Structure 1
Amino acid sequence: MSIADTLVPVGGPTLPQERRLVTAIPGPRSQELLDRKASAVAAGVGHTVPIAAVAAGGGVVVDADGNSLIDLGSGIAVTTVGNAHPKVVAAVQEQVAQFTHTCFMISPYESYVAVAEALNRITPGDHAKKSALFNSGAEAVENAVKIARKYTKKQAVVAFDHGYHGRTSLTMALTAKAMPYKSGFGPFPSEIYRAPLSYPFRDGLSGAEAAKRAISLIEKQVGADNLAAVIIEPIQGEGGFIVPADGFLPALVEWCRANDVVFIADEVQSGFARTGSMFASEQFGIVPDLITTAKGIAGGLPLAAVTGRAEIMDASHTGGLGGTYGGNPVACAAALAAIDVFENDGVIERAREIGDILVSRLTALQAGDPRVGDVRGRGAMVAAEFVDPATGEPDAALTGAVARACIAAGVIVLTCGTYGNVIRFLPPLSMPDELLHEGLDVVASALAAH
């Protein structure tokens, strides 16, 4: 008998929206699963919150011991519309009853085409676009690079300091942070180069100055004639929710256009209403040549996409793009339902409201505690960077201690950043205000206690 057989609360928005601690974290039933995990699952697969999740919805995750935790992570920005959203559930149930798989490359089906049509419509720019569907953000990034190389007939790719693009061989090469993502897993693919990012809190540069620095390095160390693509997260995710200075991204796009370089916006984490617009690129006034999406696209089901200029997307020969599960019909049904929610249920506006609360509460903390060095982000994608107030150096120890205290008190928070000194806030947009405030109260108490 599984843990879920003994306690399965109904998930979705009907769950009581409350923080409730019945046991210490982890409780005995959760510990039972963690013991089984240690025996059965590879040690390299870690976990942040020591619970056995059995239900989730609204703004909470419920574990096997009956504890209800406030969710400020959304499974890393995946359950943006809320866990087990009714529209997503209904669409998935209907599709599962019809068929679960044919492989789109063998027997095409309408939902894949409909998702591509929706992405072509809602992504930035009014030019002709096409899309291809995949399984994960890393897979989308790999294919975006393939497409750019095929189109330009060039090989080099530039990524940026602090960037995160995935865990496959190519995307590890694109990713900046060694531990835990790259260490010991090399050698990595060649023709990957790195440029300095605009990081206003640490470099003090204007967007124009930071762009000039990056472009100068690219021209001197790579050369535009060799460069197929520049790939960047408009707002970095794992790198620390770094928001580039105004003008940085437009200058990069302008340079790419002038030099026949494909500009790829990795919006895997920042896309789909997370930042208070459908895509973060919109907030910086840029139109990418290619955009990669995943995470929030399908309400919790695995789906990813590359969308871009039709002439670039069509550069590949037939059969050059695809995959057995890419654009799975169940995931496509979920995506169409989630996109309906994003467009018609006020979710983008809700992201802005949540962002206002996050920024207000966190800047108030910053005003009273110099260890909060920076508060940054857009919409419901906000972070606090913790530092030694005397030196400004990153304080990863404090960050880890605050995060652990929050989890022990029933609030799920996630850390990030190259230096491990950032707590990121990614609440589901279905979270009620009072629950968000309570979660932030716990964060404030944890910080005060350390």
Structure 2
Amino acid sequence: MVARASRGLSGRVRVPGDKSISHRALMIGALAVGETRIAGLLEGEDVLATAHAMAALGAHIERTADGIWHVDGVGVGGFSQPAGPLDFGNSGTGARLCLGLVATTPIAATFTGDASLQTRPMARVTAPLEQMGARFSGTNGDRLPLLVTGARAAVPIAYELPVASAQVKSAILLAALNTPGRTTVVEPVATRDHTERMLKAFGAALEVAEEGGGRRIAVTGFAELKPQPVTVPADPSSAAFPLVAALITEGSEIVLENVLLNPTRRGLVDTLIEMGGDIEIANERQSGGEPVGDLVVRSSRLRGVRVPAERAPSMIDEYPVLAVAAACAEGRTEMAGLAELRVKESDRLAAVAAGLRANGVTVEAGEDSLVVEGMGTPPGGGVVETHMDHRIAMAFLVLGLAARAPVTVDDGTMIATSFPAFTDLMTGLGARLGEPRDAA
């Protein structure tokens, strides 16, 4: 796909539902006794893979013509033996959280995924789940495919996360639901808390206490989950792309509706405001226990800033597009605490650095850091290797809207994993992007 210099983006849009909340709504709905109705579910490939996995484990899942998803759950501990492997496609979130669901259920299941997912490490999740009694075996070390044998007599644990990871935390909390006694997770830095919020709403026996800069979360097992209606707010990670596009494209003003503003997810918005971004938060409100609002975004002259490492958990998926904003700013932007980027759908830290260099931007990449020298208007003209990573593809298409020469990404097909309507939404706002034969 190719993106060309654009100006004057305008319109009022709603990006797809939040991916993190969509995954959790399907999983926790599958554990409830009765029917959970989900509105606004993200219908990208990653979330659909989770829906197929929940159905394979025994939940009845149906989408009706009005766009509402109905999940008839089997109760905590009620999953049945799947007839075949559980294929999570490109979804690390779906695979890692579902490892927790199966780890304390007395069944065996093979977890697999696409070529990209099979390269990504699972040890951070499987290590604590093994302490709870699950067994994992495979031919590729801690990578998928993995045969998971759930514990017949699960053991509660007290576990301190070695690194901040909402996926690891959530896997343990989900495993704790079918474990006797009290399981405790301590996170050194507060990470996204959608699992905790949703488990509480469904009736789990869960307690959260602030501890230093992090949290101590405790779950007492065997509580019956009661179905709840869920309305999924707009995904801030998806909103990040039109948000940055409007800031760096001259003469733009757009409104992004119903965006999730959970404090553990708004790091990008806070950082862009620090960089001088004209972002107004309107109509703030609560929806399903989550704070949401509308973002009014106008083109702005951005300046480089230092982004503290402790902010990384609140915006880890947004660093590729933040790096694009930094390239279009004046001055140096320094980002730290980025080690997690190296184990995402690709080594995102390396992919971002290579993509910026290919488009004439000076960048320094460390083991867990990135420094971008802003140029106001980057040269562009490069071809970016996406490494099958949807966020790399979308981030560099955004760069092309503000660069002097077109920016090409080698593959845009995987964008459908998280943002199926990305091209239509962006071109509807006025962005010039498409396949090479269309872009001119």
Say which structure, 1 or 2, has more relative contact order (CA 8 Å, 6+ apart). Answer: 1
Structure number with the higher helix fraction is 1
Structure number with the higher strand fraction is 2
TM-score w.r.t. length of structure 2? 0.27
TM-score w.r.t. length of structure 1? 0.27
